[in-house]
Structure 1
């Protein structure tokens, strides 16, 4: 679990009460034809028997035509946003525990990485069953496995070797690992003759392999063993039961099966080979299993941690011949069956002939397997899963709220900002951490950089920062177009302006920076120039229609009026802009949508921040109340189920009554939220606002939907955004300044909070 600003404690034991009323199972599910779909269905039935009072649901991967009623939600594997929404839906549905069936290949994204944001969303404990485990995962697989181990309260494997891999490769806590065997039906031990007669196999010795067909099953090695077996036992019939894997059929049709038939013809054993090319339901499988004398798994790859077919054959009381893959070695290694080398047809023939030559030994193997298999029947497996669920519920961590700033803040490092700045100003963009000259400069970013210079209190004596401050103020001065009273925004690398007037938002940001400079600049010349430009540029705002431009201007007015309280023009405009935002609130807000517009787009928290600060100076206004209410709602919808900050995505935003976009998440959203929450704390002195600011700041450090840090501690830079499975590795000015501004404001708030605590102690 994340060990940052959210403190976690252990829940009280659930031993004296029912720990769950609703359990959900995530995996493929019937009628999909694959091993995990069948396993999920069987497990649900087993848990139903062991916990009859629990309501059981399924979240099924994929979208077939019809699912049974227990499937409450289906999940297309290739839509990352749907995974997170599925997590939200599980939270709303009151699910008490989620049991995940994990196998690489059934979830979307690199190595199934789309599953991880869903798990981060969940408020309930998670139990994950691993159907495969890799000793040498690639980078993507390792990342997913590490997240699964971290996000799951219990880790279920079906063999001791799986527990060993979890411990040694993935550093899993042994106390959280449960070894629960693959469940099997409660077979009866029976002689083979009646089933052989029913299937038309009378007089034949039957060797069986079943499951989805594909090259990884090693059937060709078994067929190559048949000439030597038929030389001594001409009545042998090798039954290969099961359809070709659908993914293989999609790629190459039935080429593999046809190749096996060709091989049998070449070897002259076609009469000893029988293919049943279909997906076989359990009732039919039991008949074939009852008819088999020997069960064969000739798998060529040892790295198979679980084989459901092996478990079923063993539990049905079959004499098993198998290659020594991991599950087989564990199940058969102590004399429970016969192990033969992989890819060795001669060894298969020797083992099969030995059993057929000695019916007494074969019968002894069968009875031993059946006896030991009683511990694997689904009813007992269901009871063990319910115990695992109880243990997960008893140890699940829960957010308890955290003290303000429980750990040290990162260092404020200006290296990358300095590298992005030349004698003209700060460049807009970077390619990774290298300035991108081609995109030139903009007023937006130079205003942000000037704000940082004003707010970086502990660094203001740095010669490096003093030079940068002068550069940014010079850029803003040059950006102001006296002929129209507007700030230009974009300048190319040749120092040519690309328009006569920039956007309303860029004008508002420039006013915000200059109003702050008029109040906070440490040199008289900087203060005087800032105030002069502010006054000259202020009138243009009266014609603006952008709520964010109004908000940016209000933030500048708040600072400016602190040192120029007699400026009646500024007072009048502040009242006018506050009223405009309140009018938007009255027009659009409702109980479900307490906001100023019909959309949440970018820099959202700046609107409530502007009203909070302005309202604190306008006691007769509703501004403060509306600002705090709207910010509280915004903070709530920007908090994911697992407690981390999730801003509105830039790729579509969030239209009222529509679906919100979760990505591309932008650093300016985290910065705006940090600043607005600190403003709310300064006005209200309610400590929870500092916790909200902390939550938003931690987004930069990796407490986010992807679990990756955007802040580069080596350069001081910040990546440009968060995508569903990665960060945008470019470290542009807007993003880097967003991090630095957030850090500077948080540092100042930390100092103020400590001083305030002393005053009230």
Structure 2
């Protein structure tokens, strides 16, 4: 007899959702559909089911079904707070959060906490990943998710143990509900093999998104050992390559498997179906299967939808002993073999392929166990959990995180690249603009394209949006063309008709280009970008020892330090970085005095980059004397550029600069100084962990927002650009490349710092 429902419950799921190809999205769709169906059948009322969908880096979005009520752009933190406001104003009763670290924005998926912290609705969270050894950030995030939730749902007993012992979640708020599965009859596989041209063959199946952790190569090796004994064997590998694997390395893994199949002479025994399949198609493959294989290589897998489906369809199963498999297959529901053990897998396959009686025994045991996992029963348990939660619900006191999880101010919530795109053509970024119209008469320069490369790398690192890569490639292409193949030097200025206006650019341009390439190497979004960036980086190295410009040294040091974070064993780059750091240090030591701790007799432009180079090199090489030079020079730069009356940032003007024993020029002040200060202050914070440096970052950033000598906003929120300079009469209304890139570098950096340190500005 069916249990009666009290009343329909309105549920909003927060999750990925089809057509986005994600296992959690498919899970959510199945659960939402069955909850809606049960409520409609038993109460004759349509309890509202809606979805707040996470969208990733697909610029055109998704063609969603009508149950999607709100979209959250994964890496846009403000969207999470707005989603909370939307849900608070809606008539829903329950938020069903489907949690997996990787589907939410921020470090360790921390942005979801902005939604939870601002929610005024009951939250029941399903945890799809529970790690035994989380990072500090993962630990804090999952503790906070659990604290904001009235109940947390897990799909395995192991997850309960981990939540209690590792995450300090009270046992009474943890609910175990099986992973849902389709409700299918117990069928004979021989009746379904015709549709796959497998009649008379023994079919083995593995399905799911393909990636290196699947262990498919182990199965291929095992099949090679038994194929002569079982010549009718057919192994089907069903599933497209995982989108993240494909983005990073294309079809490299699949190609390696196909090569292995050819090498082992198994082309008639191993078949790849490189595609996504719907539920009906998947059930068809499972119905035709004699043995299902789950050869995963990782122990720490707390749930597997593919294994759950195989159990529910009554398959004879062989799996490696990952956590979920150990639980699901413990009572003669399937067979376990050690991780990566080809011989053990071959022996187990041979045993089951030769013993139909044993296969059928395992099939029946699996099917009987799987009856408790079918979607109607799972959905009903969720409904009952929601109802119990509504009875017990009170606003929980959140677990106090290390720092506040607060969304950034609305004015800083969105980084716009519209104007950057306007300034860029298929050659590169234009140097200048007349107001907000690109000025072609001045052409291009390598300096700005190097800065633009840094901005697009930073943008992709934050948001993972694929459409920024086309911009990135334009700037990288410009830098590639800027390298003189004979001298290995950078050319800087190019006319609009693509003629170089000089044979050799400045040392500063060369160093700035090296710096941008180092950042591209450290945070490269693709292997091809990494490859070209690395090649260019090495082309620029030979001339560095001849440089005499302190800023060229500083830029080169920063580029080498970024490179060494990716390739720390490169002895030549280590040598050059140490050499240039020593030269810069000696210059300061020789020229500095108590009241002038600077390496030159004039303070000009991009000054804080020299302090940043000292600080970063000192931190990475653990050289106290080097980072002390950085701290001292940075403190002094901030002191001499503080307005004595009002206390805001007052930059050194380029109309005379600041000469030793003379008065500092007040105008024109250049935006390029601000991101240099922000980067240097953050390095100081990483070294000292003193909160004053975070305050200084905020203080510097506010120069763009009107906390300056003319009390005018310098950035342009409408265009996403920035005014060229601060003059005695006000701001220069032209919005050229250098100023716009300075603003974007500062804005990206502040967003990144807020994300890394879980703070707000």
TM-score between the two structures when normalised by the length of structure 2? 0.53
Residues 434-513 of structure 1 correspond to what in structure 2 (within 5 A)?
Answer: 436-440=635-639
Equivalent pairs counted in the alignment come to: 441
Contact 1:439 1:492 in 2 (8 A): no
Contact 2:17 2:54 in 1 (8 A): yes
| Counterpart for residue 451 of structure 1 | none
Using a 3 Å threshold, how does the CA distance of structure 1 residues 182 and 440 change in structure 2: closer, same or farther? same
- 1:639-670 CA distance string (max 9 Å, x none): xxxxxxxxxxx999999xx99xxxxxxxxxxx
Using a 3 Å threshold, how does the CA distance of structure 1 residues 441 and 33 change in structure 2: closer, same or farther? same
Using a 3 Å threshold, how does the CA distance of structure 1 residues 384 and 443 change in structure 2: closer, same or farther? same
Does structure 1 residue 27 correspond to structure 2 residue 15?
yes
| Counterpart for residue 274 of structure 2 | 277
Mapped to 1, the partners of 2:161 and 2:382 lie a distance apart of 20
| Counterpart for residue 28 of structure 2 | 40
Residues 376-391 of structure 1 correspond to what in structure 2 (within 5 A)?
Answer: 376-391=373-388
Contact 2:215 2:296 in 1 (8 A): yes
Using a 3 Å threshold, how does the CA distance of structure 1 residues 729 and 374 change in structure 2: closer, same or farther? closer
2:186 to 185, 189, 193: 189
Mapped to 2, the partners of 1:383 and 1:156 lie a distance apart of 14
Contact 1:440 1:492 in 2 (8 A): no
Contact 2:128 2:303 in 1 (8 A): yes
2:242 to 245, 252, 265: 245
Q: What SS is found at the alignment partner of 2:101?
A: coil
- 1:357 Cα deviation from its structure 2 partner: 1.6
| Counterpart for residue 153 of structure 2 | 156
| Counterpart for residue 56 of structure 1 | 49
Using a 3 Å threshold, how does the CA distance of structure 1 residues 652 and 313 change in structure 2: closer, same or farther? farther
Mapped to 2, the partners of 1:319 and 1:721 lie a distance apart of 51
| Counterpart for residue 368 of structure 1 | 365
- 1:555-604 CA distance string (max 9 Å, x none): xxxxxxxxxxxxxxxxxxxxxxxxxxxxxxxxxxxxxxxxxxxxxx999x
Contact 2:20 2:62 in 1 (8 A): no
Using a 3 Å threshold, how does the CA distance of structure 1 residues 359 and 389 change in structure 2: closer, same or farther? same
Mapped to 2, the partners of 1:50 and 1:337 lie a distance apart of 32
| Counterpart for residue 254 of structure 2 | 257
Residues 193-212 of structure 1 correspond to what in structure 2 (within 5 A)?
Answer: 193-212=190-209
Mapped to 1, the partners of 2:25 and 2:50 lie a distance apart of 14
- 1:265-301 CA distance string (max 9 Å, x none): 1112221101111101111111110000000000011
| Counterpart for residue 98 of structure 1 | 95
Using a 3 Å threshold, how does the CA distance of structure 1 residues 259 and 447 change in structure 2: closer, same or farther? closer
Residues 523-602 of structure 1 correspond to what in structure 2 (within 5 A)?
Answer: none
Contact 2:149 2:396 in 1 (8 A): no
Contact 2:316 2:334 in 1 (8 A): yes
Unaligned runs of 5+ in 1: 1-14, 401-429, 449-490, 501-600, 604-649, 660-719, 736-761
| Counterpart for residue 300 of structure 2 | 303
Contact 1:227 1:267 in 2 (8 A): yes
| Counterpart for residue 340 of structure 1 | 337
Q: What SS is found at the alignment partner of 2:275?
A: coil
- 1:497 Cα deviation from its structure 2 partner: 9.9
Q: What SS is found at the alignment partner of 2:103?
A: coil
Does structure 1 residue 329 correspond to structure 2 residue 318?
no
Using a 3 Å threshold, how does the CA distance of structure 1 residues 438 and 177 change in structure 2: closer, same or farther? same
Mapped to 1, the partners of 2:194 and 2:751 lie a distance apart of 67
Contact 1:440 1:493 in 2 (8 A): no
| Counterpart for residue 701 of structure 1 | none
Mapped to 1, the partners of 2:661 and 2:155 lie a distance apart of 66
Contact 2:150 2:396 in 1 (8 A): no
Structure 1 runs (4+) greater than 4 angstroms displaced:
15-18, 430-435, 441-448, 491-500, 650-655, 720-724, 726-730
Using a 3 Å threshold, how does the CA distance of structure 1 residues 17 and 340 change in structure 2: closer, same or farther? closer
Mapped to 2, the partners of 1:171 and 1:728 lie a distance apart of 21
- 1:380 Cα deviation from its structure 2 partner: 0.3
Mapped to 2, the partners of 1:31 and 1:334 lie a distance apart of 37
| Counterpart for residue 447 of structure 2 | none
- 1:95 Cα deviation from its structure 2 partner: 2.5
Does structure 1 residue 75 correspond to structure 2 residue 77?
no
- 1:233 Cα deviation from its structure 2 partner: 1.3
- 1:589-638 CA distance string (max 9 Å, x none): xxxxxxxxxxxx999xxxxxxxxxxxxxxxxxxxxxxxxxxxxxxxxxxx
| Counterpart for residue 624 of structure 2 | none
Using a 3 Å threshold, how does the CA distance of structure 1 residues 242 and 392 change in structure 2: closer, same or farther? same
Residues 666-685 of structure 1 correspond to what in structure 2 (within 5 A)?
Answer: none
Contact 2:19 2:62 in 1 (8 A): no
Contact 1:441 1:492 in 2 (8 A): no
Q: What SS is found at the alignment partner of 1:73?
A: strand
Using a 3 Å threshold, how does the CA distance of structure 1 residues 445 and 336 change in structure 2: closer, same or farther? farther
Using a 3 Å threshold, how does the CA distance of structure 1 residues 495 and 42 change in structure 2: closer, same or farther? farther
- 1:139 Cα deviation from its structure 2 partner: 2.2
- 1:427-458 CA distance string (max 9 Å, x none): xxx9999993433389999999xxxxxxxxxx
| Counterpart for residue 758 of structure 1 | none
Q: What SS is found at the alignment partner of 1:202?
A: coil
Mapped to 2, the partners of 1:651 and 1:81 lie a distance apart of 23
Using a 3 Å threshold, how does the CA distance of structure 1 residues 378 and 235 change in structure 2: closer, same or farther? same
Contact 1:127 1:155 in 2 (8 A): yes
Does structure 1 residue 179 correspond to structure 2 residue 176?
yes
Mapped to 2, the partners of 1:139 and 1:220 lie a distance apart of 34
- 1:17-39 CA distance string (max 9 Å, x none): 74x74210011101112211110
- 1:302-328 CA distance string (max 9 Å, x none): 110000000000110000000000000
Mapped to 2, the partners of 1:447 and 1:245 lie a distance apart of 55
| Counterpart for residue 235 of structure 1 | 232
Q: What SS is found at the alignment partner of 2:227?
A: helix
Contact 1:80 1:114 in 2 (8 A): yes
- 1:47 Cα deviation from its structure 2 partner: 1.4
- 1:181 Cα deviation from its structure 2 partner: 0.8
Mapped to 2, the partners of 1:16 and 1:372 lie a distance apart of 26
Using a 3 Å threshold, how does the CA distance of structure 1 residues 37 and 493 change in structure 2: closer, same or farther? farther
The structure having more radius of gyration, on CA atoms, is 1
- 1:93 Cα deviation from its structure 2 partner: 1.8
- 1:131 Cα deviation from its structure 2 partner: 1.1
Mapped to 1, the partners of 2:394 and 2:27 lie a distance apart of 28
Contact 1:438 1:493 in 2 (8 A): no
Contact 1:207 1:296 in 2 (8 A): yes
Mapped to 2, the partners of 1:116 and 1:651 lie a distance apart of 32
Unaligned runs of 5+ in 2: 41-45, 398-610, 616-630, 648-657, 668-704, 708-712, 721-749
Contact 1:721 1:728 in 2 (8 A): no
Contact 2:239 2:275 in 1 (8 A): yes
- 1:73 Cα deviation from its structure 2 partner: 1.0
Contact 1:49 1:382 in 2 (8 A): no
Mapped to 2, the partners of 1:399 and 1:359 lie a distance apart of 55
Mapped to 1, the partners of 2:753 and 2:104 lie a distance apart of 18
- 1:494 Cα deviation from its structure 2 partner: 9.8
Mapped to 2, the partners of 1:729 and 1:86 lie a distance apart of 20
Q: What SS is found at the alignment partner of 1:231?
A: coil
Does structure 1 residue 166 correspond to structure 2 residue 163?
yes
Using a 3 Å threshold, how does the CA distance of structure 1 residues 203 and 151 change in structure 2: closer, same or farther? same
Contact 1:293 1:318 in 2 (8 A): yes
| Counterpart for residue 741 of structure 1 | none
